[in-house]
Structure 1
Amino acid sequence: MEYRIEWPAPMDESDWAMQAIKGWTDVTVVWEGGRREGGRRKAEVYDPVRLAQSVGELMHHYGYVAVKHLLVVPRVTPENIESAVSELVDKHFFDHA
Structure 2
Amino acid sequence: MDKSDWAMQEMKGWIGGVTVVWDGGTRVFEVYDPVRLAQTVALEIEQIGRFMARDLLVVSSVTRENIETVISAIADGGFSA
User: TM-score surpassing 0.5?
Assistant: yes
Distance between the aligned counterparts of 1:86 and 1:14, measured in 2?
24
Q: CA deviation at 1:93?
A: 1.6
Q: Unmatched 5+ residue regions in structure 1?
A: 1-10, 33-37
Larger Rg: 1
**Distance (Å, rounded) in 1 between the aligned partners of 2:50 and 2:4:** 35
Answering whether residue 54 of structure 2 is matched by residue 68 of structure 1, we say yes
Q: CA RMSD in A?
A: 1.4
In 2, Cα distance between equivalents of 1:55 and 1:90 = 29
- Percent identity, please: 55
Alignment correspondent of 2:20: 29
Consecutive aligned runs of 4 or more in structure 1 exceeding 2 Å deviation: none
**Per-residue deviation, residues 40-84 of structure 1 (Å, max 9, x unmatched):** 111000000000000001100111111110000000001000000
What is the aligned residue count? 80
